[in-house]
Structure 1
């Protein structure tokens, strides 16, 4: 608790950085890696790399971890309880392996804010004793380490939400979601970094600076759940908890090659989780899992829903897990719409390739594929932006003022200082949202006229964002949240689906109206569209190897259905070269 007595914000942040790895075994820390936890840093500095300090760090663990640690950290969340039940590994071995890999991840990527090694090790030892004595696993997540975005309260830890002011205050109890996961046998072992107040698409704050992408540290890992994205993408955690107000689970999942679930609001309990703009209900923030497979997402979601969180969280809908919903949709040909672009911002070439190839794969497998109806995604983007600026940044500013930390100037300030919305303006915005929701539901029902069965589509596939991962500091330039924010405004269920990687064959567009293969493409309809296309061409050589990820979107409160469809697609893609 010593940081509470330190007066200047930068000293408090420096002292926190020195504490991050203090509780882990010293042999887990690799002296050869470049990052020093105690160094002073300008959080807006961009990283530079060399042959001895490479941009891509995906292969670094193979040079540091032993064979057992590599084998354990290659396991997906659903495989860990199976391995423990088969007595291949103990929970202690699992927590040690993932903690070691997570420490390496943090040294390279600045992705963590807290390690909980002593408590995690103690819980693992208890799990091993119970299993040794009873021969039974304590729950479906027995021995699974999980990381949490630093909004989730975990007893004995600081929950910063990216603010220096929250350093030095330690939680007295776990939030409801952490309690549920622990009761299911999972082990919280670290907390990950995020953007300040969860309000930006890159994970940068005054505590640990910028978090980077493990595939290429020149690029951002996304935000605001970027620490989770970087850590899980590095396989330093098999399962993580992120949050999503405008794409903050799906964007980091996209940039780091992950499966991530954006559930409908409160299907996964948000109770006791810290956030900015608490009480803002027009477009609620949601919490959900991020992992290496759809089955990991399903295992997490079912375990949480089976705990009946609605008896504690007043917002949680009393809807039990509906296996019949999943069984029905996989018993027949899927009805999937494809949105190749929204008529406003054209996705970059690798994303267009992925959508085409997945469409071909679905058709060859006998599924019913139709074009997606027009959704007016720019309007959804506008509605989402209005919500995020409705308090004119007063809530975030109040949290900054408590420590005196400076505001990070990530984009040029507006010409006019924004004003907070009045109550009447807030009500009007809520009505505009509801009107949009009703229009989309009507259009969804009308898709029955386009499918072979005469029934509406089950879901649609589209881009997560129009761009793949971008260079640090460029989020403001390439920001367009239409593909993501539409889901939030509608409160639909969505999960990400890794499909491919950027290839050299994903040629730069020859012009604004012709792709790299000479095929006609739509002309730019706005300056942002043109800029996103140019950004891809500018960074083409260094983009190769970056993940290409799509999102699958279903209707509100259809988590079981969306996850079942995602598993079908995941299996199809395993036998397809995309």
Structure 2
């Protein structure tokens, strides 16, 4: 690969991008004044102080309610778009979650939709007037595609990404682009372009990554629905850290054309797009809308699987929903707050009708982690390093760990890539045989999404609870359960860590420092079972009343 150094310093390039963002914030009308001081700690309630009651009502409405109100003509697209632009501008000042706002584009679109409604007296599509935020590496015509690299900020998207086109055809309004980490490869959101994005539940904590701009924005109700992406947990980590719903579909269900990432073309571990939303209804609306557009008709990478009737996937012949509980992956022990959340869910599931709870033991997790380490960076991290060298920007701490310093990273030969990709396929086969043999009746797996609640910045090193399901290409949903309670979730001073990863997670768990952080869990179904997964979770949610605590309050 030939790398052409930039003529401008990386710091100046970053300042130019930030200036574009700042101008986009300043152009929001009415203007959102600067706060008197840099606010820290819990900032969830702050936006309400700067919004009208009408703006609060709009922005705190679920996506599904907004769609209904817009379709009935009770709200205009312009009013809804303006309200979310205002709240997003406030969210940026609180958490640094915005890559750029798009007020001119969004309001022109909203005005067009209102004119359509006035003329035809009906909505333009199933998402008529709904504002949707998108992660920065999802292409928008004429906007940059940095994917977290300073040297990529000059790259421009020639067209909107396919998934954006689908959402626009359904009537959506794209109004905000959100922050992402360096090269997209971290479960936190920090880059040399935009700096560090913080968690509005507690700004000392990370909102997760790599879709952390999305999660911080949505936790502040600055977006009702957004597009994230996930190659190792990058939808589920942010959703978990901020108390949201996030779905990682299997590959082949949502179109990737028009998105950018330095690993595009490398098929050792494939990434996927997916929805993040403050409500489960937002996730469902997104999936149903995109898949019912039949993306396989224009994209040969898409699998021709229509959105299937969910009721056909569970309860056949009066069968109960069977939930397998994986308490630990046997590599990193979940923190007390996570174990408490899992225990509370399991105890309630055991006493409701129509649900059977069984144990599911972790299967060859160490082998899975070894395969993942080899296949995330089969070139030994060389391409990533070259993209940094092109601008002169330094590594961020977590990307240095992930793509340079993790034990086991090496540049594979062509035969080595074949060998480790073959091991990936054998692992997938073995895992499925284990499921079919040990627990053939099991519908879904319930497990942690991360070893701890939202971590302190620069400490999210262990991806095992999420990346396992990227390796398997299974469908996975993260959902909120409760919040950290420093007394009930106290650290066990007698615990002896089992390995270096376990020690790192144990040392960086602090329920006092992590107070107010949501505690979330993960539900997993087999490959391409998104409909079954959502139906199973809806049943669980309704039967036991999830979340137990309002994680966005």
Shorter-chain TM-score tier? over 0.9
How has the CA–CA distance of structure 1 residues 6 and 326 changed in structure 2, closer, same or farther, with 3 Å as cutoff? farther
Could you tell me how far 1:407 is from its partner in structure 2?
Answer: 2.8
Deviation string, structure 1 residues 81-103 (Cα, Å, up to 9, x no partner) = 11112332111111111111111
Give the one of 207, 223, 239 matched to 2:193.
207
1:357 to 2:344 alignment: yes
Q: Are 2:334 and 2:448, in contact at CA under 8 Å, matched by a contact in 1? A: yes
Matched, 1:443 2:448: no
Change (3 A) 1:134 1:495: same
SS, match of residue 19 in structure 1: helix
Match of 1:549 among 516, 520, 528: 520
Question: Which stretch of structure 1 is more off in the superposition, 458-467 or 525-534?
Answer: 525-534
Q: Quick one: which of 31, 34, 38 aligns to 1:31? A: 34
1:470 aligns with 2:455: yes
1:504 equivalent among 486, 490, 497: 486
Which of 80, 92, 107 aligns to 2:93? It is 107
- SS of residue in 2 equivalent to 1:78: helix
* Aligned 8 A contact 1:140 1:303 in 2: yes
Q: 1:152 to 1:362 in 2, by over 3 A?
A: same
Residue 332 of structure 1, CA deviation:
4.9
* 304, 312, 330: which one aligns with 1:318: 304
Cα shift at 1:113: 0.9
- Report the equivalent of 1:259: 245
Aligned residue pairs total 538
Match of 1:395 in 2: 383
Q: Distance in 2 between matches of 1:433 and 1:361?
A: 36
Give, in whole Å, the separation in 2 of the partners of 1:472 and 1:575. 28
Aligned to 1:452: none
TM-score, reference length from structure 1: 0.89
Aligned to 1:11: 12
Say if 2:310 is the partner of 1:340. Answer: no
Q: How does 1:482-561 map to 2 (within 5 A)?
A: 482-513=464-495, 524-536=497-509, 539-561=510-532
Deviations 1:256-290 (A, max 9, x none): 11100000012111112101211111210111010
**1:390 shift after superposition:** 1.4
Shift in CA distance, 5/346, structure 1 to aligned 2, threshold 3 Å: closer
- 1:447, 1:457 within 8 Å by CA — same for their partners in 2? no
**SS at the partner of 2:416?**
helix
- Please give the per-residue CA displacement for 1:21-79, whole angstroms capped at 9, x wherever unaligned: 313325332222556xxxxxxxxxxxxxxxxx331110101111110111011111111
* Secondary structure of residue in 2 paired with 1:153: coil
| Worse overlay, 381-390 or 89-98 | 381-390
For residue 375 of structure 1, the aligned residue among 363, 369, 380 is: 363
Name stretches of at least 5 consecutive residues in structure 1 with no aligned partner. Answer: 36-52, 449-454, 514-522
Cα deviation, residue 211, structure 1: 0.6
- Which is further off, 133-142 or 323-332? 323-332
8 A contact 1:361–1:576 mirrored in 2: no
TM-score (norm 2): 0.92
Gaps of 5+ in 2: none
1:562 aligns with 2:538: no
Task: Verify the 8 A CA contact 1:246 1:384 in the aligned structure 2.
Answer: no
2:419 to 428, 432, 439: 428
Specify the SS of the correspondent of 2:476. strand
Distance 1:369 1:257 in 2: 24
Structure 1 contact 250–260 (Cα < 8 Å) conserved: yes
CA contact (8 A) 1:381 1:480 kept: no
How far apart are the structure 2 equivalents of 1:172 and 1:576? 42
Return the offset for 1:389.
Answer: 2.1
Q: CA RMSD in A?
A: 2.2
Does the 8 A contact of 1:344 with 1:526 survive in 2?
A: yes
- Residues 1:326 and 1:19: Cα distance change in structure 2 (over 3 Å): farther
Residue 239 of structure 1 contacts residue 290 of structure 1 at CA under 8 Å; is this kept in 2?
A: yes
Cα 1:563–1:196 change in 2 (3 A) is: same
Instruction: Flag the 1:377–1:28 CA change in 2: closer, same or farther, 3 A.
Output: farther
Q: Partners of 1:441 and 1:505 in 2: how far apart?
A: 40
Does the CA contact (< 8 Å) of 2:269 and 2:376 recur in 1? no
